[in-house]
Amino acid sequence: MRVLITGGAGFIGSYLADALVHEGHFVRILDNLTPQVHRGRIPSYLNREAEFMHADVCDREAMTTALDGVNAVAHLAAAVGVAQSNYEVQRYVESNCLGTAVLFDLLIKQGHHPRIVIPGSMVCYGEGLYKRSDEDLVRPSIRTKAQIEKSGWEPICPETGEPLAPIPTPESAAQNIGSIYALTKFDQERMGTNLGKLHSIPVTVLRFFNVYGPRQSLSNPYTGVTAIFLARIKNAQPPVVYEDGRQTRDFISVHDAVRAIRLALECEKQPTDCFNVGSGQPTEIGELARTMASACNSAIEPRITREFRAGDIRHCFADMTRIRDVLGFTPKISLKEGIEELIKWAETEEAIDLYHQAEAELRRIGIL
């Protein structure tokens, strides 16, 4: 294959580049080296055997050059962060929506039909799937502060008022948009699948759950929760956990995420489709913070704020049936193994704790 990886200097993209180069594929990376993640510098880990272009996905001329001669595109370039997206709206929409529009506009005008992989996101589901005691399935709406004050942290059935039990969320579940980031990922997904079908461009959407691992920026307070917790612990500060710490998320190692992308890129006969990419296992956020502190040989306890961050969901974890049956994918790396790898890598990495800066912004905007 000849593969273009947009956002290829980033967390997931750089590992994908390593894997594809190792397998003998031609790899071209396009990345704008956004200061929030890279501080404008090419990261030391970037594979030197890959061709590198310092450019933005919204730059039509650069993207025209980047697409020349490739037969596959992993479109990973994106602004990432749920809370931040709600007050940096233009940047998120331009990077995620306009960048994807430029990609497809060029492909359509050129009559170019490479296989495309687009990362979707579990945030588009909103709350996950639940069931009542009578086994009826329920999709509660995203909680409000008023609902929590009345009924507690856990979603309740809107019809009966009874407690609900979270169960794996399948791809068929309706998407419930609760942030600008979720809106842009939904837009990317629908743009890709609709245009792919219309113009016979093979498009696969991978709805990633919480991807974690080495190379995730430890100094970006808007990145994944594992990196944010680790930055706090490395600076002898307690990880900050909202609500009561019992909310759950589904964590998947970056190495498993990359393997899913490779399977999607290599499956030439796969029609346009969407797949969950997670572990299928829920993990409590408060327990994750304690586990990470213990693995760092730290006695630090998380600070459980009992505050609600507007738009946050309570539970969502992946139903992995479709990707297992169609692409043959199952995750291989346990959370314990993945966290141990992340912590070992972080021993020699700089971690500037900017949590209070991000928290102050959330309070100023009224999200906290």
The span from the CA of 26 to the CA of 49, in Å, is 9
pLDDT at 178: 87
pLDDT at 90: 96
pLDDT at residue 308 is higher than 90: yes
pLDDT at 357: 72
pLDDT at residue 203 is higher than 70: yes
Q: List, for residues 250-289, the tens digit of each pLDDT value.
A: 999 999 999 999 999 998 766 678 999 999 999 999 999 9
Residues in the chain: 368
Q: Mean of the pLDDT values across residues 30-40? A: 85
Out of 143-147, 204-208, 252-256, 360-364, pick the least confident.
360-364
Count of Cβ atoms closer than 10 Å to residue 74 Cβ:
30
pLDDT at 359: 74
The span from the CA of 90 to the CA of 72, in Å, is 29
Q: What average pLDDT is seen over the chain?
A: 93
Residues carrying an active site annotation: 181
Q: What percent of the chain has pLDDT over 70?
A: 97
Q: What is the pTM of this model?
A: 0.93
Q: List, for residues 338-368, the tens digit of each pLDDT value.
A: 999 999 999 988 877 766 776 777 677 777 6
Q: Mean of the pLDDT values across residues 11-25? A: 97
The span from the CA of 340 to the CA of 336, in Å, is 6
Say which residue, 84 or 167, is predicted with more confidence: 167
Can you state the angle between helices 285-295 and 335-346, rounded to 10 degrees?
A: 50
The span from the CA of 321 to the CA of 98, in Å, is 32
**β-pairing, 115-121 with 273-277?**
unpaired
Q: pLDDT tier at 327 (50, 70, 90 boundaries)?
A: very high
Domains belonging to the chain, first-starting first, are: 2-365 (3.40.50.720)
pLDDT at residue 206 is higher than 90: yes
Q: List, for residues 54-102, the tens digit of each pLDDT value.
A: 999 999 999 999 999 999 999 999 999 888 888 899 999 999 999 999 9
The span from the CA of 150 to the CA of 158, in Å, is 13
Q: Which two tokens stand for residue 350?
A: 């700089």
Closest CA to 208 of 119, 297, 85: 119
Q: Which two tokens stand for residue 363?
A: 């309070």
pLDDT at residue 38 is higher than 90: no
